[in-house]
Every structure is written in structure tokens, then in C-alpha cells.
Copies of this chain bind each other. A is one copy, B any other.
Amino acid sequence: MTKMRQTRQRAAILELLRSLKSHPTAAELHALVRKRLPRISLGTVYRNLDALARQGRIRKLVSGRAEARFDGDLRGHYHVRCTDCGRVGDVFGLELPNVDSAEPGRASGFEILGCRLEFIGVCPECRRRRTSPHDPASGTETDARVPGGLKP
């Protein structure tokens, strides 16, 4: 990763995103930034969002470009997703304390229906292949990395 430059479009995207209370998609952001920089392209928005997230200056809320995966085992269990290859593993036998739904409901104004927790990690195969100094954060939201204790 070489030196990152400060361009008009990058600054506009960052400033705009910081000024918003919402969590826009790339397309929404593009429409908004366009008011100030009418010629900015969607591709540039994507490239900058990626760069900024990779730097940790903004946060990317999951999903984008990951295929859906399916599980035929209905027993309750958690999942771990490999940051390198996307593979998903199972975590059976883990008991976590319940979360009170009233609190997030009050804080957000949403009617809370449930919640979802998944672990982020590196699968055995990818770990083996990890010799070169791989890039740090993929930029995708991955809350904490507290050794021994994770902030859900």
C-alpha cells in the first residue's frame, strides 16, 4: 500500500459521510456527493469508500459481495466466517448471556425482533497459508479484537 493522496472527491465523501446520521449505501452517497461534485463517478465512490474503510477512517457495515451460505443443521449454534476465504465454520456448545431487547429498542426507535452474532476469524487452512505479511483490516466492520475477550 503506497502513499494515499488527498483528493477533492475523497475529502468530499469523507466529510459528507461524517455529517450524516444515516448509513447510506454507495449509491445513495454517490447521489449526495454529486450535488457538490457533479462529475464524480460511482466507481470513484466505491474506490474511496473501500480505501477509507481500509484505513479505518470510516466503517463498512457488512454484506457487500459476499455470497449467501446455507446451513441444513437447525440445532442452535454460532458461526465463524473466515476473513480470508469466506468459508463458514460452526461453533457448537457456546452459551452466551441473553441480551435485553428493551434497551436497543429504546436507543434506536426500532421494534427489535432479534439479533445476530457471528465470529470473525481465520480458518485452519488459511492460517496455514499465512506466511506473508497479509494486509491488516479488510475494512469490513469487525468490532473489537480484544485478546481473550471480544466485545460483541
Contacts and interface: CB of A to CB of B under 8 A. Distances in A.
Interface stretch (A1-9, A17-25, A35-43): A17-25
Interface residues of A, number: 89
Given A70-B59, A150-B98, A104 B78 contact: yes
B93 A107 contact: yes
Interface in A78-115: 78-80, 82-83, 87-94, 96-105, 107-115
B72 A58 contact: yes
Interface in A94-152: 94, 96-105, 107-124, 127, 141-152
A116 B96 contact: no
Interface of A: 14, 17-27, 29, 49, 53, 56-74, 76, 78-80, 82-83, 87-94, 96-105, 107-124, 127, 141-152
